[in-house]
Amino acid sequence: MAPIVLELDAVLFDMDGTLISSTPAVNSVWTDFASKYGLDYNSILNESHGVQTIVSFRKYLPHLTEEERVEETKRFEAGIVPRASELMAQGKEGLEVLPGVRSLLDQLRQGPVNGWCIVTSATNAYASAALRILGPGLGAMPRDIITADDVSRGKPFPDPYLMGAKRLDVDISRCLVVEDAPAGALSGLAAGSIVLAVGTGYAPKLVQAVNPTYYVDDLSQVSAEWKDGKLFVTINQKD
């Protein structure tokens, strides 16, 4: 299959499952909360990835007040990085940079600061902690990082990616949204962006089911180049 070359204004990345993986740590923390509240662990995992934690708690913990759910969200996300550290100390997977990410980000960093950003459903506290730990593997962070604290409606609503494009001062229709989760892909599509789904987080068949514009197994199949101030992204899809 011939490579696809896109001329774009910017690339907007999801974080977890797209740039980094914290799945073992997140799943472990969900185990604690499922046990505490008597929840169906498998149902939570199938529906919570790519969605703001507070939204999941509103669905699964309707008996709590909103203030209590906010506090539980803070406690949940504050527990992810320490749990990841515990797992890594045991020689297990905790936090890692996903394939192809560093190379692609290095290429994007050759252009202007508004050429890319991160748009995550995580809170600022968790995103900052995770990115700080993985800094050596990821390199310098973008000027703009949109988190759950910045929008009232998270993915699958278009608000997060619309805000990302606004922060960068670019046209959302000339942006590539890179996502691993159905909720995130739907958010990018609803915002009017081109959407590239990656198979590094959610089950590939589930994210493909929402009909993203393109799909790759991981970001080693994607490269970026700046020519005369213009951004060109190449997607090498498999046959």
Question: 16, 144, 159, 180: which one is catalytic?
Answer: 16
Going by C-alpha positions, the residue among 160, 166, 167, 101 that lies closest to residue 135 is 101
Nearest-angstrom CA–CA distance, 118 and 19 = 9
Q: What is the DSSP string of 61-79?
A: -TTS-HHHHHHHHHHHHHT
106 is catalytic: no
16 is catalytic: yes
Angle at CA 235, nearest 5°, toward 231 and 122? 80
Beta-bridged to residue 235, according to DSSP, are: 4, 222
**DSSP letter, residue 142:** P
Enumerate the H helices of the chain as residue ranges.
23-37, 41-48, 53-60, 66-78, 80-89, 101-108, 124-133, 135-138, 159-168, 182-191, 204-208
Sign of the torsion formed by the C-alpha atoms of 149, 114, 107 and 155: positive
Cis peptide upstream of residue 136 (ω within 30 degrees of 0): no
Question: 9, 14, 159, 180: which one is catalytic?
Answer: 14
Going by C-alpha positions, the residue among 187, 227, 197, 214 that lies closest to residue 4 is 214
Residues acting as catalytic residues? 14, 16
